[in-house]
Amino acid sequence: MRQSQKTGARSIVSGEQRIQNGLLREKILDRNNLNAAYKHVKRNKGAGGIDGMTVEELGPYLKENNTKLVEELRSESYQPQPVKTVEIPKADGSKRKLGVPTVVDRVVQQAVAQQLIPIFEQVFSDNSYGFRPHRSAKDAVRKVVSYYNQGYHYVVDLDLKSYFDNVSHDLLIKFLGNYINEPWILHLIRKFLTSGVMSGQLFGKSVKGTPQGGNISPLLANIYLNELDKELTKRGHKFVRYADDCNIYVKSKRAGERVLKSITQFLEKKLKVKVNAEKTQVGSPLRLKFLGFSLSVGRNGAYPRPHQKAKQRIKQELKRITKRNRGVSLDKILHEIKQKMQGWIQYYSIGKMKIFLQHLDEWLRSRIRQYIWKQWKNIGTRFKALVRLGMSREQAKIYVNTRKGYWRNAHSKTLLMTITNKRLTQRGLLNMSQLYQSIQAKA
């Protein structure tokens, strides 16, 4: 069996298309593989599916029903349940539909994915970055920078219309079959694709698409769009793809328009996915957004920076968190800021944003001073607070009767000298500039 596994791995690399029959089923149903899949699902937590079973209930259920589950999978009598539809708000105000499988189905999908990923990692393009081990959005952005510095100053920014909802099941199974010669696994994956969706009490058939939210969906999406990667490579194009976000880099606008036309035909005729003509465009990476970044150029060449829309969006989010009439504790506000900004700064840390974060720090401190002033509410509370913070009683008595608005007060010398930057940091306000500098120092 060990020798057969090696043969299967070699066959993909050398171009002989398929894995040996029978190997994958035993690997997927192996006790250690199933146990690793269970641990993965438990670690990721998440909501239950339509049967109501929670991640906490999953362990006891599998202990009691493990043998039955394996037997059903082996005999192909296992039937995945419909996924529960959940709508997640997007930044542009629209909603993305997520399909939440049951926790048991998630374990089975994860067990399958764990065995398929190593196989397809030998197949996937080096220019594909999304949902792949040891690859990230930062790696994709670095590749974009390298292309720009090589003289590729125009980009074909492809936008696929509702990609995950429009994947052809028949084509996906065909693409899988190019590498996997094992009917058992192809049947199982088709069952997951066609298990249906539940929206409230309404059942809907799944005739196309791979629902976002399933453990195996990202891998299947990459297998499908690997056909696009192969076509782009065959044509000699420079490109970067992260899931369904694909940018093709060219040296002139005319070349970009020519590439856009021919690739649109390929996607719509060969892969049966629709290109969104309104959002797809040819332009400059200095202006267009990719994974939240755009480029700027300095004396040492191009470098990434957060796109203007990403900056506006995070400022709006901080504005919402610090809205002065929220009526929650200051500690809760500071905790939410920390949660939101630590992840944001970590993600954008490869980009230049020192000045932006300095300004954002100043603005945010003013928002917090405004919030505190509002929390103090009446004259008596404000008087006591200012005295406690070091102001003389005479000065405090004069200031608490100010008729300035909240925002003007937040910038006053009085609040700057009492609610100091140091006190705000000690209270728990994240210093974004310092965090950014510490991440940069470690990079």
Can you give the pLDDT of all 443 residues of the chain as single tens digits? 333 333 344 344 434 445 555 689 999 999 999 999 999 999 999 889 999 999 999 999 999 999 999 999 999 999 999 999 887 777 666 677 788 999 999 999 999 999 999 999 999 999 999 999 999 999 999 999 999 999 999 999 999 998 988 899 999 999 999 999 999 999 999 999 999 888 777 887 888 888 788 999 999 999 999 999 999 999 999 999 999 999 999 999 999 999 999 999 999 999 999 999 999 999 999 999 999 999 999 999 999 999 999 999 999 999 999 999 998 999 999 999 999 999 999 999 999 999 999 999 999 999 999 999 999 989 999 999 999 999 999 999 999 988 899 999 999 999 999 999 999 999 999 999 999 999 999 87
List the one residue out of 380, 370, 427 whose CA is nearest residue 401. 380
Query: What is the signed CA dihedral for 147, 153, 159, 164, rounded to 10 degrees?
Result: 0
Is residue 278 a contact partner of residue 271, using CB atoms and an 8 Å limit?
A: no
pLDDT attached to residue 429: 98
- Encode pLDDT of 16-41 as tens digits: 445 555 689 999 999 999 999 999 99
pLDDT attached to residue 416: 95
- What residue ranges do the domains of the chain occupy? 23-283, 305-442
416, burial (CB in 10 Å: exposed 0-12, middle 13-18, buried 19+) = middle
- Encode pLDDT of 275-285 as tens digits: 999 999 999 99
Determine how many CB atoms are found less than 10 A away from the CB of residue 32: 8
Tokens for 22? 């029978």
Backbone angles phi, psi at 180, to 5 degrees: -120, 110
Query: What is the DSSP code (8-state) at residue 293?
Result: E
List the one residue out of 419, 405, 287 whose CA is nearest residue 364. 419
d(CA 341, CA 320): 13
> Which residues make Cβ contacts (< 8 Å) with residue 234, sequence separation at least 6?
none
Prediction pTM value? 0.87
Query: What is the signed CA dihedral for 241, 242, 243, 246, rounded to 10 degrees?
Result: -40
pLDDT attached to residue 93: 66
State the first-to-last Cα distance of the chain, in angstroms, to the nearest integer. Answer: 43
Residue with tokens 């490579």: 233
Q: In 3-state terms, what secondary structure has residue 65?
A: helix
Q: Tell me, rounded to whole angstroms, the distance of Cα 331 from its chain centroid.
A: 28
Q: Which helix (H) or strand (E) holds 281?
A: strand 281-283
List the one residue out of 126, 213, 219 whose CA is nearest residue 172. 219
Question: What long-range pairs does 421-430 form, CB within 8 A, spacing at least 24?
Answer: 421/365, 423/389, 424/365, 424/368, 427/330, 427/334, 428/331, 428/334, 428/335, 428/338, 429/334, 429/337, 429/364, 429/365, 429/368, 430/334, 430/337, 430/338, 430/341, 430/342
Query: What is the DSSP code (8-state) at residue 252?
Result: S
d(CA 140, CA 408): 43
d(CA 316, CA 203): 38
List the one residue out of 354, 317, 359, 356 whose CA is nearest residue 336. 317
d(CA 28, CA 425): 51
Query: What is the DSSP code (8-state) at residue 180?
Result: B
Residue type, 231: E
Is residue 123 a contact partner of residue 235, using CB atoms and an 8 Å limit?
A: no
d(CA 414, CA 321): 24
How many residues appear in the chain? 443
pLDDT attached to residue 12: 46
Question: What long-range pairs does 319-325 form, CB within 8 A, spacing at least 24?
Answer: 319/367, 322/364, 322/367, 322/368, 322/370, 322/371, 324/370, 324/371, 324/374, 324/406, 325/374
**How many alpha carbons lie under 13 Å from residue 63 in its C-beta half-sphere?**
5
d(CA 75, CA 118): 25
Q: In 3-state terms, what secondary structure has residue 358?
A: helix
pLDDT attached to residue 11: 41
